[in-house]
Amino acid sequence: MIYLICNIIISLNLLLICNSDGRFNNNELATETQTHFNSNQNLEKFATNKVIPNEIRELTLEALSYFPDLINTKIDFQFKNNIHGSVMQAQPKVGSLFMHSKENRAYKIKISRNLFLEDNPIPIEQLPDDVLLGWIGHELGHIQDYIERGSMNLLGFGVKYYLSNSFVTKAEIAADSYAVAHGLGEKIIATKNFVLNHDQIPLAYKQKIEALYLSPGEILSMVDPELGEENNTLEEE
């Protein structure tokens, strides 16, 4: 019965989870920027337990290098022809929620094969490197949030995510904050600016991002509080 309930919830895309139980502190994470892995070293060490399409392998490994805690975590990066309402989604694999311990749980990151613009779609790997790196880094931020949660905890937060837009916002703040804390702040800003400023991104998607996600200025405030305050002042003027 539990397994059936879990499948139903997954099918409704309920497992983009947020953190609202006090474990997550935006200010603490935003100021705990971690030292990034030296790009001159071999990134293949971060391929352990990962399945990655060749088209995005190099950038995905670079994104993973910002999250050393995930080095042994099982993650399947999957191309999908269409992800309803999203470009990428991070979820636990349903079969691992109750069959394995948290340490052995498996995850998947679904990635739209193409970014659909108003005129023509473009393959996801043709996005600017910093934009794609920020996008993948955001999804890894979700997984960083998931790894310490129990199975029932994930299901409970999943239901709230499905029912409440404010909960969605908390989930996305959590993912962005984890990414910023791991050194990807500038990439996250690049991704958000790309979406909001690209004249071929559908308006409905831009409005969703503006309504439910942190703005580039808010991310900048997490990366550099002084610059963020200056940016917010300019926006108000």
Q: Tens-of-pLDDT digits for all 237 residues of the chain?
A: 444 344 434 443 434 434 444 444 444 444 444 545 545 458 999 999 999 999 999 999 999 999 999 999 999 999 999 888 899 999 999 888 887 788 889 999 999 999 998 888 999 999 999 999 999 999 999 999 999 888 888 888 778 888 989 999 999 999 999 999 999 999 999 999 999 999 999 999 999 999 999 999 999 999 887 655 555 544 444
At residue 151, the pLDDT reads 87
Say how far apart CA 8 and CA 27 lie, in whole Å: 35
At residue 23, the pLDDT reads 45
Report the predicted TM-score, pTM, of the whole model to 2 decimal places: 0.82
At residue 137, the pLDDT reads 98
Q: Strands 114-115, 88-92: parallel, antiparallel or unpaired by DSSP?
A: unpaired
At residue 230, the pLDDT reads 54
Bridge partners (DSSP) of residue 111 are 79, 88
Residue 167, Cα to own-chain centre: how many angstroms? 15
Say how far apart CA 131 and CA 186 lie, in whole Å: 10
At residue 9, the pLDDT reads 42
